[in-house]
Structure 1
Amino acid sequence: MLSFARGAVLIAVFVGLSLTTPVAAAEPESCPGLIASRDTLFSRAALRQDEVGLTFVGHATFLIETPQGVRIATDYSDGTRPPVTPDVATMNKAHSTHFSYSPDPGIKHVLKGWNPAGGPAYHDLTVQDVRIRNVSTNIRSYGAATEYDGNSIFVFETAQLCIAHLGHLHHTLSPEHLRKLGRIDVLLVPVDGGYTMETFDMMEVLRSVNAPLMIPMHFFGSSTLNRFLASAREHFPVEFSNTAAITVSRATLPKNSKILVLPGY
């Protein structure tokens, strides 16, 4: 099975390269090249030193793989897990679909986006070739009361890219949030339009962060996604991928901000 998976990845890489030779290289606004299907995992051999693998597992969970093979699962939960044990799992607490009561014991680093003892969570961790840090935000708790520091935006810095996962964000971002975030190249965005934020407010977040590549997550079927995209098209071009796994590099980032939809829900 392992040799078959590696073969599938190599074939996919070959196809991706054949589709992105000189012509694609001359089109800097093209989306990152696709290298694998949803069910195929990245391997170290499939990524160059300037590439990051990004797979939409589902809901708010992405599998991020660095050039040195560090695997990270975002908003890791009991219901949505990648098919491999990640080295790092990040979590948020707004709903049980964003954290795990019993994470895989093989995970070396489990990072909670909230502080069980109170106050903001603080993470600034380097694992091989990736730095992982967080920016604390608030959530609405029961009765619509504000629970301060209940969510974290996790930022993953690797291969000269800064990838931010908004988690279960419940409010727009202040200048201080934006300062702490810094430059963001890839933004993973909850687009449900209600459980997190109204679409109008999420558009404000997207415009304020101004990442070159924005990828929707946390939607519940095509109607929810399409409602978000209808609003998003007023501000950004929208493209669709036919696979949930892509590679991203600094060289292939769009020149102007755009939204790339990966299959999933």
Structure 2
Amino acid sequence: MAEILYLGHASVRIRGREGIVVLDPCDQSVGFDIGKPTAQVVTISHNKADHNNVEVVKPLRDTLFVADGPGEYEVSNILIRGIRTAHTDGEGKKHGHNTIYVMYIDDVAFCHLGDLGHGLTASQLDEIGSVDVLFVPVGNGNHVIKPDGMVEIISEIAPKVVVPLYNDNQQQRLEALDLEPLSVFVHQMGIKEYETLDKAVFTPSTLPREDEETKIVILNPSGVAV
């Protein structure tokens, strides 16, 4: 059983029986204080303060492994694969590079797209592989891909569950961070009504079946406004 807590911005905590992972811990510039989450593993999509605030994460049993780029990692039976992409162009010449992470926790495949700002190549899609739960950023095309482009990427990856990040709320500084309101993404996905949850729990048996539509799960940020 893997429990998902949305800390705020692009920060997510996944807690399973095999360990705890914090993805893209952010600093307070985004309008959130995510506290001091405990973890064994931290993943960093790119080296900016709203995605690489490792210092805020408290090591579990005095051990903290940081994955900060492409490659294969294994920590406490958690398998992680980092896939290199870019922010806004395929070669990363304009705004540098980004790392997508795929990880396997409690027999569930999670994928965090980081600050993806462009479409994916066939090779990158092959590296990502089969995904159960996909964490997607909602941007406006400057540094993070627009909602309509993200909808296309979702259809290519074909996850069972999608969890949007950068959700709009009174704490999130949308204009300064080049973000779109969540409502734009929801509209692009064809959703008319939705509810938000404080946390989500996923197991192989509770995930949608292969023949079912992708499920959208929208989480409330747990971070405290600053």
Which of 83, 89, 94 matches 1:146? 94
Look up the SS of the partner of 1:230 in the other structure.
helix
1:202 is paired with a residue whose SS is helix
Whole-Å separation in 2 of the counterparts to 1:175 and 1:71: 31
Equivalents in 2 of 1:212, 1:177: separation in Å?
19
Q: Is the 8 A contact 1:134 1:152 kept in 2?
A: yes
Is 1:178 equivalent to 2:125 in the alignment?
yes
Residue pairs, 1:213-232, within 5 angstroms? 213-221=161-169, 224-232=181-189
- Change in Cα spacing, 1:105 to 1:229, as seen in structure 2 (3 Å) is closer
1:188 aligns with 2:135: yes
* Aligned-partner SS, 1:170: coil
Distance in 1 (alpha carbons) for counterparts of 2:193 and 2:125: 24
* Post-superposition offset of 1:54: 0.8
What is the letter of the counterpart of residue 262 of structure 1?
L
Paired residue total: 200
Q: Which moved more, 1:211-220 or 1:193-202?
A: 193-202
Tell me, yes or no, if the aligned pair for 2:35 and 2:56 is still in contact at 8 Å.
no
Larger helix proportion of the pair: 1
| TM superposition shift of 1:237 | 8.1
Structure 1 stretches lacking a partner, 5+ long: 1-50, 114-120
Is the counterpart of residue 56 in structure 1 residue 12 in structure 2?
Answer: no
- Deviation of 1:67 after TM superposition, in Å, equals 1.5
What's the offset of the Cα at 1:189?
Answer: 0.5
Partner of 1:248: 202
Structure-2 residue corresponding to 1:85:
38
State percent identity of aligned pairs. Answer: 22
Shift of 1:228: 1.1
Aligned equivalents of 2:193, 2:47: Cα separation in 1? 29
Alpha-carbon offset, residue 238 of structure 1 = 6.5
User: Which residue identity lines up with residue 253 of structure 1 in the other structure?
Assistant: L
Task: Say if 1:246 and 1:93 are closer, same or farther in 2 by CA, change over 3 A.
Answer: same
Aligned residues of 1:192 and 1:220 also touching (Cα < 8 A):
no
The alignment status of 1:197 with 2:145, answered yes or no, reads yes
Residue of structure 1 in register with 2:22 after alignment: 73
Unaligned runs of 5+ in 2: 171-179
TM-score, length-normalised on structure 2? Answer: 0.78
Structure index of larger Rg: 1
Q: CA deviation at 1:104?
A: 4.6
- 1:211 and 2:164 matched: no
Q: 1:189 to 1:62 in 2, by over 3 A?
A: same
Q: Report the Cα distance in structure 2 between the residues aligned to 1:126 and 1:89, rounded to whole angstroms.
A: 12
Alignment of 1:129-168 (within 5 A): 129-140=77-88, 145-147=93-95, 150-168=97-115
1:261 and 2:218 aligned: yes
- In the TM superposition, what whole-angstrom CA distance separates every residue of 1:189-226 from its partner, at most 9, and x where no partner exists? 10133330112211110110110100000233387001
- 1:140-186 superposed Cα distances (whole Å, 9 cap, x missing partner): 49xx94356x1111111122211000000011111111100110000
TM-score by length of 1: 0.68
Asked if the contact 1:189/1:216 (under 8 Å) is kept, the reply is yes
Partner amino acid for 2:169?
Answer: G
In structure 2, the residue matched to 1:110 is 66
Q: Secondary structure at the match of 1:65?
A: strand
